[in-house]
Amino acid sequence: MNANRPMAFVADENLLDDLLKLAAAAGCDLERVPDATAARLRWSTAPLVLLDAVGAAECESHALPRREGIVVVATDPEPPALWKQAMGVGAERLITLPGAEPWLVSALADAAEGPASNAGKVLAVLGARGGAGASVFAAAVSLTALKAGDNSLLIDCDPRGGGLDVVLGAEGDEGLRWPDMQLSAGRVAASSLHMALPTRRRGNARLTLLSGARKGEGPAPDAVAAVIEAGRRAGEVVVCDVPRQLEAAAWPAVDRADLTVIVTPAELRACLTAKQLADELTARGANPRLLVRGPSPGGLRLTEIADSIGIPLLATMRPEPHVAESLERGDFHPRHKGPLSLAARATLAELAAQPPKTRRPPDNDEQAA
Ligand SMILES: Nc1ncnc2c1ncn2[C@@H]1O[C@H](COP(=O)(O)OP(=O)(O)OP(=O)(O)O)[C@@H](O)[C@H]1O
Ligand SMILES: [Mg+2]
């Protein structure tokens, strides 16, 4: 039996029919259970549990233990006392149909994609000055993850960064960019992103790119949050290229990041900005690390720079040979054992070593219960 099957204990046949259709739309197989005894067998393993009023009351009266991912579903108009039953069974949310279909389809698709215990990690990369090398480094980390066989989601959070598709040589690729994204439900399934966005493949691994498009507004903060959470739920290495001006779209990435890296060239003014940025990020609760990019025109020693900025040094990096030319040609790849690859691998190792985040940022991106 597929452990990723969401479970439904729904007595209302019409509602169950609707749920089965929505599950089919999400590409997922919904397991129907007829009573609380059957529900108990799948209670601890089903990634998502859908209950109607009868299901919620039965599960409560059989004292099924608390768990995450319980959703109580009602048909409009919602019965007046239903929220009490939802609370009684420990539901995360109460939704009504029609209305909540987009949210539910995404939640079902996410549940079918994989268990939350495989949750991915989120990296935020910021540059201490324009041209610091943050976007190139963010792309290098995602490409290095791909090479290592890991799925990666590379998100361009910088509306004026020129577009990460250009860095990957993917500006001609079909697929959506930020201005095309409609995330009105505030939640998106990773499978939808894989279908809609430009991707790079290597073996079974996939890099999915959500790039800016050099036009329009930058992404809305809720949309950035929804995309990051989709990647995290799907167990991907989520890499966010974050603008150092820390505008609105930057915070969802910083707040969700398991690791934040400031890329600074080894120059005095960039280092002063790196210090200012580090202070702002630390005040927000982030734990930033430094990546110092040489050469140092003024002879500053790369390790001393980190000491003066006062945050842990993640790596130092010599210039990557021929990077400007390969970017122009659209065939950028960090060289195996080159400076970018080494720094990217150190970053991925540090990211993997981070404990799972316990504090979730405010959930303004999802429909409230
Ligand atoms: N590791 C590197 N080694 C050598 N040159 C690099 C490296 N990273 C970036 N560069 C050069 O610096 C340029 C700017 O890099 P990048 O676009 O990554 O900077 P950024 O910090 O993202 O700047 P922006 O402020 O525009 O977002 C690149 O086009 C490339 O020529
Ligand atoms: Mg950039």
Tell me the pLDDT tens digit for each residue of 317-341.
999 999 999 999 999 999 999 999 9
% of residues, the chain, pLDDT over 70: 93
Name the residue at shortest CA distance from atom 7 of ligand 1. Answer: 133
- DSSP H helices in 119-188: 134-147, 164-167
Number of the ligand 1 atom closest to the C-alpha atom of 339: 1
Residues 271-313 have pLDDT tens digits of 999 999 999 999 988 989 999 999 888 888 877 888 889 999 9
Distance in Å, CA 87 to ligand 2 centroid: 46
CA distance linking residue 348 with residue 138, whole number of Å: 11
Q: How do strand 205-210 and strand 199-202 relate by DSSP bridges?
A: antiparallel
Span 111-125, average pLDDT: 80
**Pair 367, 186: CB distance under 8 Å:** yes
What is residue 212's predicted lDDT score, i.e. its pLDDT?
95
Question: How many of the other CB atoms lie within 10 Å of CB of 75?
Answer: 15
**22 CA distance to ligand 2 centroid (A)?**
39
Residues contacting residue 6 through CB under 8 Å, at least 6 positions apart = 23, 28, 30, 31, 46, 47, 48, 49, 50, 108, 111, 112
Per residue in 137-192, pLDDT (tens digit) is 999 999 999 999 999 999 999 988 889 999 999 999 999 999 999 875 567 888 88
Nearest CA among 183, 117, 193 for reference residue 151? 193
What's the whole-model pTM score?
0.77
Confidence of residue 114 (pLDDT cuts 50, 70, 90): low
**Cα 120 to middle of ligand 1, angstroms:** 26
Which tokens hold the place of 96? 């009504």
Residue 360 has pLDDT above 50, yes or no: no
Q: Which ligand is nearest to the CA of 156?
A: 2
- Return the pLDDT at 63: 93
The rounded distance, in Å, linking the Cα atoms of 221 and 101 is: 22
Proportion of the chain above pLDDT 90, given as a percent: 69
Residue nearest atom 31 in ligand 1 by C-alpha distance: 324
Among 125, 135, 136, say which to mutate for ligand 1: greatest number of ligand atoms within 8 Å of CB.
136
User: What are the distances in angstroms from CA 356 to CA 107, 151, 196?
Assistant: 21, 18, 28
Q: Which of 146, 366, 106, 155 is nearest to 254 (CA)?
A: 155
What pLDDT band is residue 216 in, cutting at 50, 70 and 90? Answer: confident
